[in-house]
Each structure stands twice: as structure tokens, then as C-alpha cells.
């Protein structure tokens, strides 16, 4: 089973600013942990990060025939991008929307997700660990092994 992991704008800067909201873990740390969990679950993960909306959409299009599921943290595009939702809907790869912060406890403009209606599930507010829960949940829901 192949799982794509897609992160959006500025998530490459994780760990360097706003630790009170986003924690001190870097994106490289998150990707390393996901690789460990993927090994445990017997699946493959392929991680990418892009700052541009078009690049994110291109990355989603690349999943056709290559990914069985995906984790998506689209950053601020979560709240604005119908284009990204259209791409996710078009490729029909089941995905879990992930956020480090609890977007529903933040400013009103962050409480809306354009992507959630197309998502299999949403995990938010657990910080970096949320990616791990999302991977376990997604693999479980796709019929793979999901432990603890
Ligand atoms: O909580 C999340 O995971 C978010 O997707 C993060 C986005 C934000 O726009 C969403 O509303 C919620 C922001 C990512 C920016 O990442 C930073 C990394 C380092 C320092 C500052 C921001």
C-alpha cells in the first residue's frame, strides 16, 4: 500500500517560528516518524511539501495510479482552495486532512475547511503526533493494519 503525504505553504518552516501554536518539531522530524510508522504498518510513504497552490494541485494529480491513500495538510490553502478540493475529488484518492493546530479553536477564517467535505477524516489539534494518528487511521480504513 502506498500513502502520499502532502504538506502545504510554510510547513517547511516548522520548528523555527510560532512554537506555541505549531510546536518545535520540524517537518523532517514528522516525515522521519511517518517512515517509522509506515514500516511498522507495512506500507510505503512518499512525502512532499510545496508552497504554491498549483504545485500542490500538480502533486495531487501525480497520485493517479501511484497512491492508495494520502495525508494532506494544505496549510492556509485549506481555508480557501476550491481548486485543491477539485483536484482531490478528481483523483479520488482517499485522504485524511491533517492539522497541527485545532483549526476550530482559532480565528473564524480558519474554522472553515474547503477540503473537509472531500476527506475521509480530519485530524487536528494533536500537533505533530496527529500525522501518526492519521496514518494509522487511514491505513486501517483502507484495510491495512492499524495498531495502537
Ligand atoms: O495547524 C495547521 O496544521 C495549519 O494547517 C497550519 C497552517 C495554517 O495556515 C492553518 O490554518 C492550520 C500554517 C502553516 C504555517 O507553518 C508555519 C511554520 C513555522 C512558523 C510559522 C508557520
Query: What is the Å distance from ligand 1's center to 85 Cα?
Result: 18
pTM of the model: 0.96
What's the half-sphere exposure (Cβ side, CA atoms, 13 Å) at 30? 33
Q: Cβ(66)–Cβ(6) under 8 Å?
A: no
Query: What is the Å distance from ligand 1's center to 91 Cα?
Result: 25
Alpha-carbon distance 101 to 70, whole Å?
Answer: 19
Q: Whose CA is nearest to atom 20 of ligand 1?
A: 17
Q: Cβ(4)–Cβ(91) under 8 Å?
A: no
Q: Where are the alpha helices (DSSP H) in 96-142?
A: 129-141
pLDDT band at residue 77 using 50, 70 and 90 as cut-offs: very high
Q: Whose CA is nearest to atom 7 of ligand 1?
A: 75
Alpha-carbon distance 28 to 14, whole Å?
Answer: 9
35-74 pLDDT, tens digit each:
999 999 999 999 999 999 999 999 999 999 999 999 999 9
- Is residue 77 part of the annotated active site? The answer reads no
User: What mean pLDDT is predicted for residues 69-94?
Assistant: 98
Which of 50, 77, 99, 131 does the annotation list as catalytic?
99
Any atom of ligand 1 within 6 Å of the Cβ of 28: no
Alpha-carbon distance 55 to 57, whole Å?
Answer: 5
Q: Which of these, 31, 18, 73, 82, lies nearest to 51 by C-alpha position?
A: 73
Amino acid at each position: 500500500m502506498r500513502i502520499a503525504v502532502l504538506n502545504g505553504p510554510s510547513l517547511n518552516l516548522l520548528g523555527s517560528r510560532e512554537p506555541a501554536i505549531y510546536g518545535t518539531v520540524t517537518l523532517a522530524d514528522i516525515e522521519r516518524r511517518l517512515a517509522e510508522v509506515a514500516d511498522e504498518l507495512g506500507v510505503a510513504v512518499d512525502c512532499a511539501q510545496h508552497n504554491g497552490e498549483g504545485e500542490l494541485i500538480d502533486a495531487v494529480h501525480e497520485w493517479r495510479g501511484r497512491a492508495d491513500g494520502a495525508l494532506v495538510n494544505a496549510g492556509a490553502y485549506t481555508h480557501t482552495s476550491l481548486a485543491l478540493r477539485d483536484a482531490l475529488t478528481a483523483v479520488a484518492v482517499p485522504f485524511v486532512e491533517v492539522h497541527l493546530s485545532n483549526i476550530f479553536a482559532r480565528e473564524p477564517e480558519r474554522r472553515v475547511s474547503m477540503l473537509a467535505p472531500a476527506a475521509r477524516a480530519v485530524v487536528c489539534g494533536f500537533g505533530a503526533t496527529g500525522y501518526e494518528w492519521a496514518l494509522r487511521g487511514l491505513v486501517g480504513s483502507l484495510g491495512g493494519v492499524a495498531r495502537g
